[in-house]
Amino acid sequence: MLTSSVEFGTLASMNYSRAFAVCGLAFSCVLSCSAGFYGDPPDARHPWAIHDMNRPQPKVVVPGTFSTQEQPGKPPADAIVLFDGTDLSHWVSAKEGAPPAKWKVEDGHMEVVPGSGDIQTKDQFADCQLHVEWAAPTEVKGSGQGRGNSGIFLMGICEIQVLDVYDNPTYADGGAGSVYGVNPPMVNAIKPPGQYQVYDIVFRKPVWKDGTMLDPGHVTVFINGILVQEATPLEGPTGHMKRTTHGPFPDKGPIKLQDHGNPMRFRNIWYRPLSPRPIEGGTDGGFLTEEATKAKRQSIAADIRADAAKGDSKDTLRIALRLMESLAYELDPATVKKVEDWAGEYDTALKAMNPDQIKGKKDEIRSIHGAVRYTTQFGLLPASLPLKADLDRIVKEQKWDK
């Protein structure tokens, strides 16, 4: 039982607006839609109900601003800024021992000093959204791979090609925006040399476990706002004149920029780490394993039951609604027993009400009816629950279902 004794007068005196606010998600829409979770419940591979208000709200991120040729844009609020135009404090040489980076910084950009070598971030990263802006020299020299060449190496091993391909043909899998040696860009979206090109990259690394590849990973690339790579699978590290081969990836790695002998400029470099995929243990979204889903559902149910235990123990309606809600995540026998006991007591009190009292409890009765209907519809409580039949009858008689 939820309490040793429940008087309907106690129920009637409750602050139900407060109760519904505390009940949260599943029942926050009860008064408007007369249903509990509103959509289909969790299942063996999805820990959340459809339209589940218990599902965590997205983190609020203040967007950045777009760049112009004259001025770099502002990164989003949660971005980790790797180069803001002032110094190379986040970068070191990619040479053994990681000596200081020798590229020069001036006028808000960094510039390759040919022959000084590649540079890479001090930070290590894995899955991310990466933003890089670069410009080839205004004075055109060379052709093919010898003109305006550099590269962005994800985790230090997967190259997204940087190359001035404005009126400059080269092999398709080595053009700007290619996954070098793997996949050409869908289109050539490069502006004339001297202008800044904007790369936005979404990177998911391959996932390996015990020598087996569980997910090949993928990379998506936009150049100047145009999609050029769409979830291109990553077989392994890229290389020159060598086909990539499958193999385990490190957990993390640096972002590396290439010195290919051309004085390329870079500015406004930032990245945002991405949440883990289900294959990596993420539990919000995606198609989870049954084991991960079960564990997540048990955790959600425990949190809801803990919330039900907070506050006024006489607030039996709030407690009952919360406990009914928890059953969608975990069909706990002890919780079922508590809810059934409460339902029996409420049903007894309901039968003692006269028509005017029933009308005065419209919102309360409709909210309980929605919760009971949902939990019985999906087998969380027995369909033979006496309270269900009485609530169905009252709602129909009062035409509250219309």
Instruction: State the pLDDT confidence band at 34, using cuts at 50, 70 and 90.
Output: very low
CA 209 to each of CA 20, 128, 177: distance values in angstroms, whole numbers, following the listed order: 45, 21, 30
Minimal CA–CA distance to 186: which of 151, 234, 223?
A: 223
- Are 274 and 140 found together in one domain? yes
Q: How many angstroms separate the CA atoms of 109 and 137, rounded?
A: 13
Q: Within this chain, do residues 275 and 302 fall inside the same structural domain, yes or no?
A: no
* 228 and 126 co-located in one domain: yes
167-184: average pLDDT: 96
Overall domain count for the chain: 2
Q: What is the mean pLDDT of residues 168-175?
A: 96
**Domain span including residue 250:** 80-280
Average pLDDT over residues 3-7: 34
Of 280, 312, 344, which closes a domain? 280
Domain presence at residue 151: yes
Question: Of 280, 315, 341, which marks where a domain is finished?
Answer: 280
Interval 338-348: pLDDT, tens: 999 999 999 99
Same domain for 322 and 216:
no
Same domain, 232 and 128: yes
Do 353 and 318 have their domain in common?
Answer: yes
Work out the percent of the chain whose per-residue pLDDT is above 90. 74
Same domain, 94 and 157: yes
174 and 220 belong to one structural domain: yes
Tens of pLDDT, residues 318-376 = 999 999 999 999 999 999 999 999 999 999 999 999 999 999 999 999 999 999 999 99
The answer to whether residue 75 is domain-embedded is no
CA 291 to chain centre: 20
pLDDT at residue 288, rounded to an integer: 84
User: Which tokens sit at 186?
Assistant: 């869908």
Domain end call among 280, 307, 323: 280
Q: pTM higher than 0.75, yes or no?
A: yes
pLDDT higher than 60, residue 32: no
Verify that 293 and 360 share a domain, yes or no: yes
Q: What is the mean pLDDT of the chain?
A: 88
DSSP string, 62-103: -------SSS--PPPTT-EEEE-SS--TTEEESSTT-PBP--
